[in-house]
Amino acid sequence: MAIAQAVSQSLELASGALYALGGVVPVDGRISWFDESARGFAPLLCYLATEPDGDVMLDTSLPIFEREIVAQLGSLHPADKPLSLALSRNPEFDSVGNAGLILTTFRTQQLISVFNAEPWLYFRSRSGAVPPEGRPADMRPEWIEIKRGMEIPVGSGGRSLLVTIAPLRLLSTVWAYDAATRTLFTSDAFGHNLMEREDDPWIVDTSNDTTSYEQVRDHLLAKFDWLAAAHTELIREQLSEVFATLDVETIAPQFGRLIRGRDVVARHRDLVLAALEEVGV
């Protein structure tokens, strides 16, 4: 079986406003953040929030899809349009994997991250990302520290991505919320939904939501193995607060299928909360 199956185009999540970019990989025991017994396929995703006069790219996915993601971004983002790149996690590769190539290929005005990661974002690229010292000054982004509570503007019309707490995480991580599309970007959390076939929809909704409690629990223990020895009360409180505060219609993780629809979002929130209560000490 091939390591990955590329997709030829992005997925429009909100008309002219939000897109998922990426590709699909088999889940067959070789990916460490899935349970060893899990089988199926999973999208590896990053996102583009777009307005007529400015775009924000949230994360960059893994290098295995670098050519596809650059092509998808290029089809949606004109070369002369302002672009900001926001990274939800440093230094994990599913967040920063294609950041060097994005910064090389597109005139990125801002790099928004926990710390200034630009000097080491050029760790590898089959397509030839150029480190900052080899690029002209106008191809060097301004670094902005990403902080909880800040708003990342998308264009100049008032739309923004709200940076919020990430109750489930490994390293320094933030989540983001787009009020315009009611989408919560959960970085490496809520990635428990798999596809049976590589051409299945990337979205779980009321028509195809068959995810079981056991799948959610086993995925949490595979991705966040420290949970087995953790007190999870505060995590559950913070997670409940996020969903009580924000009007979420879509959960958009970096891997696994998206979750769409208020009832489906509520179901998966409750499954995660229940699993957190069981697996902790």
pLDDT in tens, 232-275: 999 999 999 999 999 999 999 999 999 999 999 999 999 999 99
pLDDT at 32: 86
pLDDT at 49: 98
pLDDT at 84: 97
Whether a cis peptide bond, with omega within 30° of 0, leads into 253 is no
Below-50 pLDDT ranges, the chain:
1-8, 125
pLDDT at 133: 56
How far is 182 from 200, CA to CA, in rounded Å?
Answer: 24
* Domain count along the chain: 1
Buried b (16+ CB within 10 A) or exposed e, 142-158: eeeebeeebebbbbeee
Q: Which helix (H) or strand (E) holds 164?
A: strand 160-164
Structural domain of 272: 5-279
pTM assigned to the model: 0.92
154 by DSSP, 3-state: which? coil
Enter the DSSP assignment of 81: S
How far is 59 from 272, CA to CA, in rounded Å?
Answer: 23
pLDDT at 21: 96
pLDDT at 145: 94
pLDDT at 6: 47
CATH code where residue 216 lies: 3.60.15.10
Between β-strands 203-204 and 5-6, what pairing exists: parallel, antiparallel or unpaired? unpaired
Q: Which two three-digit tokens encode residue 144?
A: 């902005």
Alpha-helix residue ranges (DSSP H) falling in the chain: 66-76, 93-96, 99-105, 213-223, 233-245, 262-279
pLDDT at 78: 93
Asked whether the beta carbons of 64 and 3 are under 8 A apart, the reply is yes
How far is 168 from 192, CA to CA, in rounded Å?
Answer: 13
Residue written as token pair 């709200």: 162
How far is 191 from 118, CA to CA, in rounded Å?
Answer: 27
